[in-house]
A and B are shown apart, each in its own frame.
Chain A
Amino acid sequence: MVAAAVVSARTYADFTTEATFEIKKCDIHKLDEAPATQVVMTREEGLQYYRTMQTIRRMELKADQLYKQKIIRGFCHLYDGQEACAVGIEAGINLTDHLITAYRAHGYTYTRGGTVKEIMAELTGRRGGIAKGKGGSMHMYTKHFYGGNGIVGAQVPLGAGVALACKYLGNNELCVSLYGDGAANQGQIFETYNMAALWKLPAIFICENNRYGMGTSVERAAASTDYYKRGDFIPGLRVDGMDVLCVREATKFAADHCRSGKGPMLMELQTYRYHGHSMSDPGVSYRTREEIQEVRGKSDPISMLKDRMLSNNMASIEELKEIDVAVRKEIEDAAQFATTDPEPPLEELCNHIFYNNPALEVRGTNPWTKLKSVS
């Protein structure tokens, strides 16, 4: 992640370079230890987490705007509220590790190395999109990031497969596989738990529990809502997903466990989405506005980090405001690109069917239309 260095009016010598924070203890399952509750965050880290979360937040809000203007079509599942998860996880692993998630994926596409510009242009279906306009919101890929997956739960076995490859190749890398509280009841996830544990795959399974699978609350979908225990024989942690430091510590803890060859771990991140399930869901028929407001008021991940930094003299209000301004500009520029970049050329329609393959002919809508497909 490239963290922009923000020059503020005050000199760096005025700020605390690092501070120790007391974070919530994780609930543990089949573990003797828990992640640390006293953690150190440097000023640099704090600024980076702040900027990244703010970028995701503003990017998602811009996507909301563009969707309402009908410039983004189809499915659009927004991540605002959950930023601490993506940012905290990335802080606990390396870019050389691997990650896969479901369709609420814009934040992860960013933390894994995608640019706001190419993410937004993918949402608007333009040739400059990260998938050249062919994937859309749910199908964005980048190095060591396997999407963006539309079929609920399917990404979990895939992620375990990536972990198998890590073990097979002996590269000390691991794979984080994310899924929601809705997906957590999928059979294929339990099949995956079994094989990952059996074969001691370096896999971290992470349930982003945002309390609702579409419009169905966790109590109405799961006989057991202790998602961190559902891996049974797989050790688990339940983590405050609104606190980027909690997420980071838990991820580091899980990563160490995996890399030491002990096999998979499971993490449940308790988080919240401000938007409805997708842009076609106002998000208030199955939950109250008061609930949304309460989370925003008391547990917003960006506010929490901001308060921590300010009260520990790790940054100034002006400095953070400058970051906000820079982020806004980045998003505006990206949106500008995303709305003006041309759509993919029709000549590309049939390309990318096969990799490393001679060109082939593809039938068009009628027998006389023969289209060309290249790798």
Chain B
Amino acid sequence: RLKNIVLGWNDLLCSKPMMVRDALNQAMDEELERDERVFLLGEEVAQYDGAYKVSRGLWKKYGDKRIIDTPITEMGFAGIAVGAAMAGLRPICEFMTFNFSMQAIDQIINSAAKTYYMSAGFQAVPIVFRGPNGASAGVAAQHSQCFAAWYAHCPGLKVVSPWNAEDAKGLLKSAIRDDNPVVFLENELMYGVPFEMSEESQSKDFTIPIGKAKVERQGTHVSLVSHSRYVSHCLDAAVVLAKEGIECEVINLRTIRPLDVECIETSVMKTNHLVTVEGGWPQFGVGAEICARIMEGPAFNYLDAPATRVTGVDIPMPYAKILEDNSLPQIKDIIFSVKKTLNV
């Protein structure tokens, strides 16, 4: 009977695991229901249920007016989405992958990001650009680029990079409710990964604030700072390292811009060691920015070793599996880098 009571409590505290794609779907569904001005446009979002099934069921529920299939014309439809946002709607503009956003990048930066500033606060642009970012599996060079650094470079944009299902739901809802342009970087390899969802995430008003990182694992020897899929790698590496007595603090950035430097600094001032982990290329990347910011702040004096960046290899993404596997940070790379940083 005690066992039944405990299991009953378990059911109350945790829900059935939810996949990231379903969390994204739920976020959009809830926001579409909450605010009539919200609508989704992009390639295959309606009748195909989404190229990666993220928008499954939404067209059936909301119809042609609110879930719009576009022709394959990114520059055009991104511009249309931005114009609609300027005129009072709240569009979610999906890029099938962020690689295709390059065709539309002028609209994202020059029409969306800069307009509130150029107009001295007259014209807001409440828009979300979302879609899968970074490497997938076997899709080769033109379909594997990580755009976190490119978008996070620009003032006027918020850049969000969720890791798990709860992140996906809470951050997407925040992004949609935000009155500013948000670039929402998902990850195709995470779409099918299930995660436990907390009690509070069941609420239709559950949001996660943009601009705040989360400590996923407490630790004392090294701060592992990552975003998106590589948070999983960091947690896995942390388990292995714990067996050797190295306790890693794993920070899930959740937002790339604005970066939660304070969270990283607090951690580094505790652990004295910093390792950043990302899928993107090293030069001018997310890790590079973190290192620069740490140097400029109070945490620098607490470092017992130079900060280390673990990144994708500085090459276009190859196709063959063995090459692809060795183009991205693996768990062993993180473990190796932590040990080097700790000089063990």
Contacts and interface: CB of A to CB of B under 8 A. Distances in A.
Interface string B112-138: 000111111111101000000000000
Contact of A352 (B39, B68, B85, B116): B116
Nearest to B121: A352
Interface stretch (B103-111, B273-281, B311-319): B103-111
B139 interface: no
B335 to A, nearest CB: 33
A282 interface: no
Contact of A141 (B39, B70, B123): B123
A149 interface: yes
Interface stretch (B2-10, B72-80, B164-172, B193-201): B72-80
Contact of A191 (B75, B87, B126): B75
A195 B123 contact: no
Given A164-B84, A165-B88, A195-B77, A150 B110 contact: yes
B71 A134 contact: no
B216 interface: no
A184 to B, nearest CB: 15
Nearest to B74: A191
A195 B80 contact: yes
Contacts, number: 150
B110 A154 contact: yes
Contacts of A352: 116-117, 119-121
Given A157-B80, A191-B76, A168 B89 contact: yes
A355 B89 CA distance: 15
What is the size category of the interface that chain B forms with chain A?
35 or more
B82 interface: yes
A91 interface: no
A42 B119 CA distance: 37
B306 interface: no
A200 to B, nearest CB: 12
What is the size category of the interface that chain A forms with chain B?
35 or more
Contacts of A357: 179-180
A195 B93 CA distance: 15
A165 B88 CA distance: 7
B123 A151 contact: no
A134 B88 CA distance: 23
A135 B120 contact: yes
Contacts of B70: 195
Contacts of A158: 79-80, 82-83, 86, 107, 111
A157 B71 CA distance: 13
Given A154-B111, A157-B107, A195-B80, A162 B86 contact: yes
A175 B88 CA distance: 14
Interface in B297-335: 297
A375 B121 CA distance: 7
B65 interface: yes
Top 6 closest A-B pairs, CB basis? Answer: A161-B83, A157-B79, A191-B76, A165-B87, A132-B120, A158-B83
Given A134-B119, A161-B85, A165-B84, 18 more contacts: A131-B118, A131-B119, A134-B118, A135-B119, A142-B122, A146-B86, A149-B111, A151-B110, A157-B78, A158-B107, A158-B111, A160-B83, A161-B79, A162-B83, A162-B84, A169-B89, A356-B124, A367-B296
Interface of B: 39, 65, 68, 70-71, 73, 75-89, 106-107, 110-111, 115-124, 126, 155-156, 158, 179-180, 258, 296-297
Interface of A: 98, 100, 131-135, 139, 141-142, 146-147, 149-151, 154, 156-166, 168-169, 175, 187-188, 191-192, 194-195, 198-199, 351-357, 360, 362, 367, 375
